[in-house]
Structure 1
Amino acid sequence: MKMLLFITIITISMNMESQNKIKITQLDYKELQTQLEAIRIEDQTLRQLLPEATAKFGADSDELKHIWKLIHKQDRINEEKVLHIIDTYGWLGKSDIGEMANQTLWLVIQHAAIDVQEKYLPQLEASVKKGASEGWHLAFLEDRIRMRKGKKQRYGTQAKKDKLSGITYIYPIENKETVNQRRKSIGLNTIEEYAKNNNYVIR
């Protein structure tokens, strides 16, 4: 009888401990979601003002250079926060922290140095394979890394502006004839629609 009572007490204690762990985990996810959604605002606000600032002050103006200086400063702060989260919890998926917070992980890495991008690319790739992150996040990051290394991109997500002509061209694409198949496989529209919507030129 004493042994049965002892086992019962241990079982109840273990169940309570398990419930507490679940509550803590859920609380952490909610807190992380809030943090990441705030980081998203910090990442995007000044970038959203760039078109208007460019039109008002000019692409080579001191005002625009100042805005970019502020953006880069904020990027470094955001990167430190996000890398700490990824290193501690892994690449958290949509079901854990919501779509917006999950997207923030990609946004901040997308704006990081290439060594950081290459380091965390496998984690994003694994997350996409599990269905925990969007495939187009991986496409944009992979293309950006390729472009920065002087390689042709795979999905046609990256573009560069010609300073002399002022025209923004889609960066060269590997196996361009099949790019729309690759884009469709990860939920992107055609390269032609993408170029038209963003006023890009395909060469």
Structure 2
Amino acid sequence: MKHLLTLSISIFFITLFPSYSQDQSDNDFKEEVKRIEQLTIKSIKLRQQINPEAEQEALNDEIKTLDATLLKKVTLFLNEYGWKSKKEIGELANMGLFLAIQHSSTEEMESFKDIIERAYEADKIEENSYALYIDRLKVRNDLPQIFGTQYYFDEKSASLRFNEIEDFKNVNKRRKKVGLAKIEKYAKQNNIALD
């Protein structure tokens, strides 16, 4: 009888533990997603304060610190769960995964290239986000961009200008394929000189 009771208790805990473990894992996942969302909101709010024509050293330092924190959180998340789509984690957290990588160093961006490519092929990352990633990486490696998403503030002309664009005459065809507006419209909306 004593052995039967011990066996029953053991079976109860063995069957209970996977359920508890799964619940804890789900809670951990949700908490990680929530933290990424919170950091993403902070990042967006800080970036809304940027004025490309003004010196904002304190703001830039705050953004760099936040970017490093978000990147660390996203790296741990990706190592644990892989890239998750909007449907799996929501639009804000999905954007956070992308923004953390997009605002990282060139070396860090390069290190995420395989996971970005796989996410893009699996339709877990937006086409226009993928275009931004590809263009930024190209520009950072001193190569012409493909989609015309990257620009800079030119002090000589005191205006925003596009970084070099490969095969400019066909850029709108490439932009259309990834859901981006024509470059002329994009330039007008962002006050970028198009010459």
**What range is the shorter-chain TM-score in?**
0.7 to 0.9
- Paired positions, count: 183
Correspondence for 2:177 among 173, 185, 191: 185
Higher helix share: 1
Task: Name the SS for the 2:131 alignment partner.
Answer: helix
Q: Report how far residue 19 of structure 1 moved.
A: 6.3
Query: Relative to structure 2, which stretch is displaced further, 129-138 or 147-156?
Result: 129-138
How far apart, in 2, do the equivalents of 1:175 and 1:19 lie? 56
CA 1:94–1:22: 2 relative to 1, 3 Å: farther
Correspondence for 2:149 among 154, 157, 171: 157
Query: Relative to structure 2, which stretch is displaced further, 21-30 or 39-48?
Result: 21-30
CA 1:27–1:95: 2 relative to 1, 3 Å: farther
Amino acid at match of 1:34: K
Q: Report how far residue 42 of structure 1 moved.
A: 2.3
Q: CA RMSD in A?
A: 2.1
TM-score, length of structure 2 as denominator length: 0.84
Amino acid at match of 1:139: A
How far apart, in 1, do the equivalents of 2:77 and 2:149 lie? 27
TM-score, length of structure 1 as denominator length: 0.81
Structure-2 residue corresponding to 1:93: 85
Amino acid at match of 1:74: L
Q: Report how far residue 25 of structure 1 moved.
A: 5.3
Query: Relative to structure 2, which stretch is displaced further, 179-188 or 102-111?
Result: 179-188
Structure-2 residue corresponding to 1:198: 190
Unmatched tracts of structure 2, length 5 or more: 1-10
Amino acid at match of 1:46: L
Structure-2 residue corresponding to 1:4: none
Task: Name the SS for the 1:157 alignment partner.
Answer: coil
Query: Relative to structure 2, which stretch is displaced further, 69-78 or 134-143?
Result: 69-78
Amino acid at match of 1:170: F
2:42 pairs with 1:46: no
* 1:21-170 paired onto structure 2 within 5 Å: 23-24=23-24, 26-51=26-51, 59-60=54-55, 64-170=56-162
Percent sequence identity over aligned pairs: 31
CA 1:28–1:132: 2 relative to 1, 3 Å: farther
How far apart, in 2, do the equivalents of 1:129 and 1:101 lie? 19
Q: Report how far residue 202 of structure 1 moved.
A: 2.1
Q: Does the CA-based 8 Å contact 2:71-2:104 persist in structure 1? A: yes
